[in-house]
Copies of this chain bind each other. A is one copy, B any other.
C-alpha cells in the first residue's frame, strides 16, 4: 500500500492549548484514496528540525503532506525549508502574485508587501489555487515521491486537498480503496460487546475491527479495503450484518449517527411528540434532542425541575410522594414522566432524576443513582441505574440511558 507521512508546521501546535486536528481529516481522506498514514510529525517554526523532518519523511514514505506555515510572515517557514530540503529554488510566480493582489483588492485592501512572499513557488511545483485564503498550496513529484504543501486553516486546506490532490493520489495508490463504518452501541459494557462479537470479527483481517470506548458509548469501527469502493462497502455489509446478529437492538447507529438523531428520526417518522422532565441532567436531555435540526416538529417542551417545589408545581408530582419516597426514587421518576406528558399533551413523557454528585449522596442513595422513566398512553416504566464517573459523566450517561429507553420503545 502507498504510504504517507503528515507534517504539521507551527509553534502554536507545540503549546498545551492546541493540537493538530487537520491530520485526522487528512488521514480519513488518505485512507479513502488507498494511502496508509505511517507517521505524523508536529514541528515548530524551527528551520533545522523542519528540514530534517522533511528529508527523513522523503526517505521513508511515498507521500509527504505538509500543513501550515504558508502565511506571509517570517515565522512561516514551510515554503523556504521545503525548497531547501528538496534542493529546489524558490521563484517568484508573477501570475500567483497578480492573483494575490487581486484578492486583496476584492477584500478592499492593498496587498501588504510581505504577502508577496506567498507568490514564491518551488521550481517544478504545480500551484494549488486557494479560493478561501491568500496562500496557494503546492504539489510536486520529487524522485518518485509526492510532496504536497497545504495551508493550515481547515477551510482552506480541506477543499484544496479534495479538489486538487485526492484524485491524483487515488491514481498513484493503484486503485485500492478504503471504506469505513462506525456502529454505536448502548446498554452493553465494553467487555460484553467484545465477548459477543470477537468470535466474528477476529476471523477477518479485512475488514479490520476496532472497538472504542467514548464517554458512555461504545463504537465499533470497521475498515475495509477493496479494489473499488463498492467492493469495500460489500465487505463492510457482510461483517456489519454478522455483528448485528450478535448485538441486535443494542446497536443504535450503523453509520455513526448520534442517539438524539436516531430517536428524533423515529419520532418524526411516526409523528409522535415528546416532552421531557429532568432533575439531575439539568436540561441535557432537552439540549441534546434540540441539537437536531427540525426537532421542533416532535419536541414540544422540557422542564428542569431542580427544586422539589417545582416538581410539584410544574409536573403535579404530589409533595407527599416526594416526602415519603424522596426526589430520587422510581415513584417520583414515573410521576415526573406522567406529569410532563399529561400537561404538555404529548405522546411520550421522558423523565430523569438522580444524584449526579459530587455532593448530595447518602448511603441509601449514593452518587450515581439515577432513575429514568418513560410514559405513553398505554403505560409507564422506569429503570434504576448505578452510573460510574464524575458529575459530568454521570449526567451524560443518564441522558444516554433515557434517550435509549425511548429508542427501544419506538422500535
Q: Which residues on A are within 8 Å of B, measured CB to CB?
A: 12-21, 23-25, 27-28, 31, 37-44, 46, 49, 52-53, 56, 60, 180, 210, 212, 219, 221, 223, 276, 278, 281-287, 289-291, 293-296, 299-307, 309-310, 313-314, 343-344, 357-360, 391-392, 395
Contacts and interface: CB of A to CB of B under 8 A. Distances in A.
A212 B358 CA distance: 31
A358 B293 contact: yes
A49 B60 contact: yes
Q: How many copies does the complex hold?
A: 2
Given A14-B40, A39-B46, A302-B304, 6 more contacts: A12-B210, A17-B24, A300-B310, A301-B304, A301-B306, A310-B344
Contacts of A23: 19
A286 B304 contact: yes
Contacts of A278: 283
B291 A299 contact: no
Nearest to A25: B16
A300 B309 CA distance: 9
Given A304-B301, A306-B299, A307-B301, A289 B293 contact: no
18 contacts: A14-B27, A14-B40, A15-B210, A16-B31, A17-B212, A17-B221, A38-B46, A39-B43, A39-B46, A39-B53, A42-B42, A281-B287, A282-B299, A286-B304, A295-B306, A296-B307, A302-B303, A314-B314
A210 B12 CA distance: 9
A contact patch SS: mixed
A291 B17 contact: no
A104 to B, nearest CB: 17
B37 A14 contact: yes
Contacts of A358: 293
A293 B16 contact: no
Nearest to A390: B293
Contacts of A212: 17-18
A196 B358 CA distance: 41
B314 A301 contact: yes
A356 to B, nearest CB: 8
A74 to B, nearest CB: 15
A304 B301 CA distance: 5
A180 B18 CA distance: 15
Contacts of A223: 15
A42 B39 contact: yes
A210 B39 contact: no
Contact of A285 (B40, B283, B294): B283
Contacts of A14: 27, 37-40
A293 to B, nearest CB: 5
B291 A296 contact: no
Contacts of A19: 19-21, 23-24
A177 to B, nearest CB: 15
A296 B278 CA distance: 13
Contacts of A16: 24-25, 27-28, 31, 180
Contact of A41 (B24, B40, B289, B306): B40
Contacts of A294: 359
Contact of A300 (B39, B53, B221, B307): B307
